[in-house]
Chain A
Amino acid sequence: MSRSAAKPQRDAAPPSASQRHEVELIQRILKGEKELFFDLISPYQRSVYFAAYSVLNHEADAEEVAQEAFLKALANLRHFRAESKFSTWLVQIAINEARMRRRKDRKGLYESIDEPRQDDEGDYIPRDFSDWREIPSEALERKEVRDALAHALASLKPIYREVFVLRDVQDLSIAETAALLGIEESSVKTRLLRARLQMRDALAPGLGGAWSMTADPRKEKRFSS
């Protein structure tokens, strides 16, 4: 099934009931019912937090930036135009805030990765397994599996983590991801490939038994190219 094929249809569709509800909430908030703001943003807490996290790779900083992003959205709510998606608008604010934080607070630390070098997007040689032992969705009930995913995500470089979070965690289209990050769609595809392969490699060590619950340590070798 193609996820991306379904997305343009979704984008072009007339406003859904929830979108109409959103527009109504926004109008009421602008007229003074500010207590409704939390109801408006509540469905997007996760998107905004992980967008910030993808840039900063630090839980506390991401939470603070997410809070700032929501407050900025509230302060600028009158500038929101209904023709764009509210969720996308929020995520864009979060990404901008997070990038600003990264530049300002951690200049020395992050300078070298703020602007990706071309060779960062080069080929990636994945680890070689003769087969992949499926990690079933039910395994996500286990904390160790969620921890392994979080660890794998944290191990990605920012340019790969940003694309992976928007595309795979938040299920945005290639075009939406490219627009939010201000990069070409071809770069989204290249980075996504590398992010997914690295995530796969980072999760693979658990395959010998931890996730699949069968003790079957596999041999590992590298692709020769």
Chain B
Amino acid sequence: MNCEQARLLVSEYVDGEVAASTAASFERHLRGCSRCESLVKGTRNVARLASDPRAFSLPDGFSERLKDRIASSFAADGRIGVRLGIGKAVASRGDHIAYFWENERDFEIGVGFLEAGVRSGDAAFVFGHGKANARVLDVLRTHGHDCEALIRAKRLFVLDGSPAGQTMLANIGAAFQAAMEAGAGTLRLLGNLGWGKAGWPSDNGILDFEARVTEAAQQFPCVIVCMYDVHAVSGRVLLKGGFETHPFILHKLQVCENHHHVPTNRFLADLEHMEATERIQ
């Protein structure tokens, strides 16, 4: 056996995996070759040191941080939560959340919800009117995300509104399905609805859509955050849309249960009644 042949056996020899006859020949070589003997000693030494728990230890404070992270990952209902990327807010999959914003900074904080998803491998959905969608994408780009590459990789989806609520629900469902087929675990949708905008349903039509989204969200591993621009929408839209159709509200960087929420069936029945009354008047 020469040095080159011996060298290839060093590691297996150290592990005791070389057949007896080969081992004997290997050992004969070692007795006459201090360089190969040094390889065996060094390799054995390295393997022994590496398996000693003192050799490679956890970073300082690792356990404490892990404990905190686990504790803060339970959502209000005790289920394993999705960290929203907005403060320490945590939601459950299936949650439909309203987020009220009034300035540039609030808007950027809201987009943090999608950013956290992009970073952790979730699929992100930008759903809304043209101007708002462009603004969301601008924030993502400003924060260094390559939106076009994310879109190509089916990790970022940009969805526009439609005059019919049912079409919007179908479009979102199809996009969710495509993302899941591309391997997404959690789906995050950030909505900026086109209240009063051309190409969108009437206010009542959007209210109807919002109420149905609460039910639809339960069918997917998704979290849906709807952004309400408090300076741009009417008081009625804030009350009916923001408060009555969302079971949760993101307030002061926390997800809170919303006691103003009206269950979908009742909300839709009320809405129908209201529309009928409006028609009579």
Interface residues of A in 1-43 (CB under 8 A from B): 1-5, 32, 34, 37-38, 42
Instruction: Verify B70–A149 contact, CB threshold 8 A.
Output: no
Tell me, yes or no, whether B135 is within 8 Å of chain A by CB: no
Instruction: Verify B17–A4 contact, CB threshold 8 A.
Output: yes
Instruction: Report A-chain residues with C-beta under 8 Å of the C-beta of B45.
Output: 132, 134-135, 200
Contact for A223 among B7, B34, B37, B62, CB less than 8 A: B7
Query: Which residues does B use to contact A, with CB under 8 Å?
Result: 3-4, 7-8, 10-12, 14-17, 34-35, 37-39, 41-43, 45-59, 62-63, 65-67, 69-70, 73-74, 78, 80, 119-121
Instruction: Report A-chain residues with C-beta under 8 Å of the C-beta of B57.
Output: 46, 146
Residue in B closest to A75 when the chains form the complex, CB atoms: B80
Given contacts A63-B62, A63-B65, A193-B11, 15 further A-B contacts (CB under 8 A): A2-B16, A4-B16, A38-B67, A45-B58, A46-B57, A66-B62, A66-B66, A68-B120, A70-B69, A71-B69, A105-B119, A123-B8, A129-B35, A131-B38, A225-B3
Instruction: Report A-chain residues with C-beta under 8 Å of the C-beta of B65.
Output: 63, 67
A5 CA to B12 CA in the complex, in Å? 12
Instruction: Report B-chain residues with C-beta under 8 Å of the C-beta of A49.
Output: 58-59, 62
Instruction: Verify B43–A171 contact, CB threshold 8 A.
Output: no
Residue pairs across A and B with Cβ atoms less than 8 A apart, 20 shown, are A2-B17, A3-B16, A59-B59, A63-B62, A63-B65, A67-B66, A68-B120, A71-B69, A71-B73, A75-B80, A129-B38, A130-B34, A131-B41, A137-B48, A140-B54, A169-B56, A199-B50, A200-B46, A203-B46, A223-B4
Which 10 interchain pairs have the tightest Cβ spacing? A2-B16, A200-B42, A193-B11, A132-B41, A168-B50, A140-B54, A132-B42, A132-B38, A75-B80, A199-B46
A83 CA to B47 CA in the complex, in Å? 29
Interface residues of A in 150-196 (CB under 8 A from B): 150, 153, 164, 168-169, 171, 174, 189, 192-193, 196
A225 CA to B5 CA in the complex, in Å? 10
Instruction: Report B-chain residues with C-beta under 8 Å of the C-beta of A141.
Output: 54
Tell me, yes or no, whether A50 is within 8 Å of chain B by CB: yes
Instruction: Report B-chain residues with C-beta under 8 Å of the C-beta of A46.
Output: 53, 56-58
**Residues of B contacting A: mostly:** helix
Instruction: Verify B58–A197 contact, CB threshold 8 A.
Output: no
Contact for B46 among A66, A146, A196, CB less than 8 A: A196
Residue in A closest to B149 when the chains form the complex, CB atoms: A107
Tell me, yes or no, whether A82 is within 8 Å of chain B by CB: no
Tell me, yes or no, whether A210 is within 8 Å of chain B by CB: no
Instruction: Verify A196–B17 contact, CB threshold 8 A.
Output: no
A203 CA to B119 CA in the complex, in Å? 36
Instruction: Report A-chain residues with C-beta under 8 Å of the C-beta of B8.
Output: 123, 193
Tell me, yes or no, whether A128 is within 8 Å of chain B by CB: yes
Tell me, yes or no, whether A56 is within 8 Å of chain B by CB: no
